[in-house]
Structure 1
Amino acid sequence: MEIPEWLNIVLRSLFLVFFLFLLTKWLGKKQLSQLSFFEYVAGITLGSIAAELSTGLERNMLPGIYSMFVWAGIPFIAGLLALKSKKARNFIEGQEVVVIKNGKIQEESLTKEKYTVEELLHLLRKKNVFNIADVEFAVLEANGDLNVMFKKEKQPITPKDLQMEVAPERPPHTVILEGKIMDSGLSASGMTREWLDVELKKRNIALDNVYIGQVDPFGQLVVDIYDDNMQVPQPKDRPMLLSALKKCGADLETFALATEDEKAKEMYSRNAKKIEEIIQKSEHLLRQ
């Protein structure tokens, strides 16, 4: 019994989709996430061959499969060569070029890479750079991305510049997804189902109304619910802690003024200053 034409096309297409999937897995994740120009051309060609084979019913598929192996094998071999040799890597993938140095455009580098000044300015604006004089270095990577380093005086101030000690940043953990509790996220965040139930009751939110819920780096539950018209109460723990710290500091200063005991006065004043230092270092976090 002869296979209907439409069924033949479907079977060919399914086979080729699976075959292309195996080829891309063989070539590695880089093939999917960040294509070089060579890999991009090879990918387009593989797709074109597969499309021709899926509908060319009058043709034998075997020569097309051989061709796909060749087009997939060349980028694979080129990738192996690039891993083994720096010269081969520079030839196949290209290499980075400094296009701005000490606030001055390197015209020769731009000309070599066939970039115009307008194209460079466009890339700089994408990096929120509008004044070339603010740039210490700008490097055009082999894949066409532009990376910029500002001059020291133009860089954003960091806690290290202010000699502030900050705790390591913890990633948020998803604990609710589409109305279902994610036990792995709860475990990673160090929380329990009982804690989660209490937090939801504080906000008067039903579990099945939560689209996504996360525990932020400060250990607080942040939720996005299905009902966009419903106002979700914001957590008050940090503002309340800030108020408590300020009240404690004010009380200590009051005690220092009220007592006549010099040792007690010195102790109250010293601890009031410590609390003031804590408030200064953490107020920007506790006000959020």
Structure 2
Amino acid sequence: MPEHFEVIIRSICTFGLLLIGSKILGKQTIAQMTLFDFIATIAMGAIAANLGFNTNIKVHHLLLSFSVFVAVVYFISLMSLKNKRARKFFAGDPTIVIQNGKILENNMKKMRYTLDYLNQQLREKGVFNIEDVLYAIVEVNGSLALLKKPQYRSVTKQDLSIPINLEQRIPIELIMDGKVIEKNLKQNNLSQIWLERELNKRKLKVDEVVYAVLAANGNIYIDTYKDNIISPLDKE
């Protein structure tokens, strides 16, 4: 077999292998990238890359190495779920960097966490004054969670004793790309006739709709292919 054909086949197989590995390990590899997850992901990526283009290394050796890595990561993930000490060792602990408007320099030094990066993350949270912060915590995945002092928090309807309508469900997607999502209709006891009636009220057909969703408050949001916008703002 010509070498370039072998590389193409190996690359396709590598993509499938990475997909299977990601499914086995779960979404935490992407959504909750701890230090352990980062190391595991880099290592598996390097093995997969070699499997894709390095024809000098035997395929079964790379498959064995990749399988061992997936098994080790999976085993450690299970152990972390059942054992708090293991979870703490592999994932680490959150670190408080601001307490009652005061920066905890020693905690920041231990993490090698700079003031510039702290200010950047605060600005991303809409905070420009450190004195507004009651607590700021660096999570194990590197993100910053913060709690503002009571006087600087946004006012809620509960604070003002304003009556609210309880929302018992999440938004339900009805139409996507001009096609009715029949599964969602059945799961929520909604009929095709009801949907057609709602579209008729707006003088629309299903194939004219890009996206339709039933919001938690009972309102229907509908976006059509024809937006009737003369000068779109995102037009290049």
TM-score (norm 2): 0.85
Instruction: Give the superposition deviation at 1:133.
Output: 1.4
Instruction: Give the superposition deviation at 1:187.
Output: 4.4
Amino acid at match of 1:205: L
1:82/1:197 CA distance change after superposition, 3 Å: closer
Instruction: Give the superposition deviation at 1:66.
Output: 2.5
1:204/1:42 CA distance change after superposition, 3 Å: same
Aligned to 2:233: none
Aligned to 1:177: 176
Aligned to 1:61: 59
Instruction: Give the superposition deviation at 1:189.
Output: 5.3
1:78/1:217 CA distance change after superposition, 3 Å: closer
1:206/1:22 CA distance change after superposition, 3 Å: closer
Tell me, yes or no, if structure 1 residue 203 matches structure 2 residue 199: no
Structure 2: runs of 5+ lacking an equivalent:
231-236
TM-score (norm 1): 0.71
1:182/1:72 CA distance change after superposition, 3 Å: closer
Following the alignment from structure 2 to structure 1, what is the Cα–Cα distance between the partners of residues 206 and 20? 41
Following the alignment from structure 1 to structure 2, what is the Cα–Cα distance between the partners of residues 186 and 70? 44
1:182/1:59 CA distance change after superposition, 3 Å: closer
Amino acid at match of 2:90: I
Aligned to 1:30: 28
Aligned to 1:245: none
1:1-288 matches, within 5 Å, as 3-169=1-167, 170-187=169-186, 191-229=190-228
Moved more, 30-39 or 104-113: 30-39
Following the alignment from structure 1 to structure 2, what is the Cα–Cα distance between the partners of residues 175 and 85? 42
SS class of match (1:227): coil
Identity between Structure 1 and Structure 2 (%): 34
CA radius of gyration, larger in: 1
Following the alignment from structure 1 to structure 2, what is the Cα–Cα distance between the partners of residues 182 and 22? 27
Question: Retained in 2: the 8 A contact 1:173–1:188?
Answer: no
Structure 1: runs of 5+ lacking an equivalent:
232-288
Aligned to 1:269: none
Following the alignment from structure 1 to structure 2, what is the Cα–Cα distance between the partners of residues 189 and 220? 15
Instruction: Give the superposition deviation at 1:129.
Output: 0.9
Q: Deviations over 1:91-131 (max 9, x none)?
A: 21111111111111111111111111121111111111111
Following the alignment from structure 2 to structure 1, what is the Cα–Cα distance between the partners of residues 100 and 213? 43
CA RMSD of aligned residues (A): 2.3
Moved more, 214-223 or 66-75: 66-75
Bigger proportion of residues as helix = 1
Higher relative contact order (CA 8 A, sep 6+): 2
Q: Deviations over 1:205-263 (max 9, x none)?
A: 232111011122332222100012179xxxxxxxxxxxxxxxxxxxxxxxxxxxxxxxx
1:49/1:94 CA distance change after superposition, 3 Å: same
Following the alignment from structure 2 to structure 1, what is the Cα–Cα distance between the partners of residues 129 and 153? 13
1:161/1:194 CA distance change after superposition, 3 Å: same
Instruction: Give the superposition deviation at 1:191.
Output: 4.2
Amino acid at match of 2:225: Y
